[in-house]
Amino acid sequence: MKKLVFVGAGSMAEAMISGIGASGLLPGKQMWATNKQDVERLKTLQQRYGISTTYDFEELFSEADAVVLAMKPKDAAAAIEEIKSFLAEGMLVISVLAGVSIGAIEAAAGKSLAIVRAMPNTSAAIGKSATALAVNGLVNDRQKQLVKDLFNTVGMATFVEENQLDAVTGLSGSGPAYIYYLVEAMEKSAVEIGLEKHTAKQLIIQTLLGAAEMLTKTDKEPSQLRFEVTSPGGTTEAGISILEQHGVQSAFVSCIKEAAAQSKRLCHLLGNELASANRPL
């Protein structure tokens, strides 16, 4: 790849630029970015990562191999309308727009494009994202490998069918927030039972890291790992019994299902907005 263009320069674009540059996959000078009007933001990214920035679309898209749509989803219709004449047929378009389907992007662009829809999460900022990728029929094997390589620089990436992306959004897209919510509860309880907050946070973080590592390095099911920690009549059993009394596991299942359902609703809504914005008068 000789040139990668970012349309939108927010936190996800920066995470990708940082990861791609740090990995050596693509030098900063071969990455370009633009945004709606925040000149200072572009200057910051240029100084921080050595990328090129411009508001001149002729310069921006000239000889671009791939374009990352990284604007806010609510701005997608206006942005695609503005840039669609610069998107060459067969050009690789990578969308990180939550809730915007491949079909909606195809309709908005009004031409045949190789489109990849990506669902990373905020952990991309530290190179630990879990990213799901879905493609349309125009994405070839070389492009699929390229996109996987790009997102592997900010964590791990795997391909799924597009109809599974709402489930991915509910699970791993929103997933970090569920973990932070759990940590909030653990911190609160730690203070209430007499631990200093800073000490409690260190213990909680290491506990989470250790549990994640155990899940990574063993073939055992989570239920078995839990059972091995839970001695009859012991402290863990006492704690787990309270979680079961309050239906915590069922609540998490409902939480993820509702997040996935909301993703589907938003996808439908944003798709309609893109279609109406590009419907001939």
Give burial (CB, 10 Å; 0-12/13-18/19+) of 178. Answer: middle
Tokens encoding 160 = 């799924």
Q: What is residue 277's predicted lDDT score, i.e. its pLDDT?
A: 63
The verdict on residue 227 lying in a domain is: yes
Q: Domain of 78? A: 4-163
Q: Is the pLDDT of residue 96 over 80?
A: yes
- Structure letter (DSSP) for residue 233: T
- Both 155 and 190 in one domain: the answer is no
Please give the tally of structural domains in the chain: 2
Q: Which amino acid is at 110?
A: G
Q: Which amino acid is at 16?
A: M
CB contact at 8 A, 134 and 151: no
pLDDT, tens digit, for every residue of 208-263?
Answer: 999 999 999 999 999 999 999 999 999 999 999 999 999 999 999 999 999 999 99
- Both 26 and 85 in one domain: the answer is yes
Task: Tell me if the pTM is above 0.85.
Answer: yes
Q: Is the pLDDT of residue 77 over 70?
A: yes
Tokens encoding 27 = 């030098």
- Both 194 and 149 in one domain: the answer is no
CA distance 214 to 205: 14
Tokens encoding 48 = 């921080």
- Both 51 and 89 in one domain: the answer is yes
Q: Is the pLDDT of residue 157 over 90?
A: yes
pLDDT, tens digit, for every residue of 112-121?
Answer: 899 999 999 9
Give the CATH number of the domain where residue 236 resides: 1.10.3730.10
Query: Any binding-site annotation on 12?
Result: no
Q: pLDDT > 70: what percent of the chain? A: 98
Query: Any binding-site annotation on 71?
Result: yes
Domain boundary among 163, 191, 207: 163
The verdict on residue 129 lying in a domain is: yes
Q: What is residue 74's predicted lDDT score, i.e. its pLDDT?
A: 87
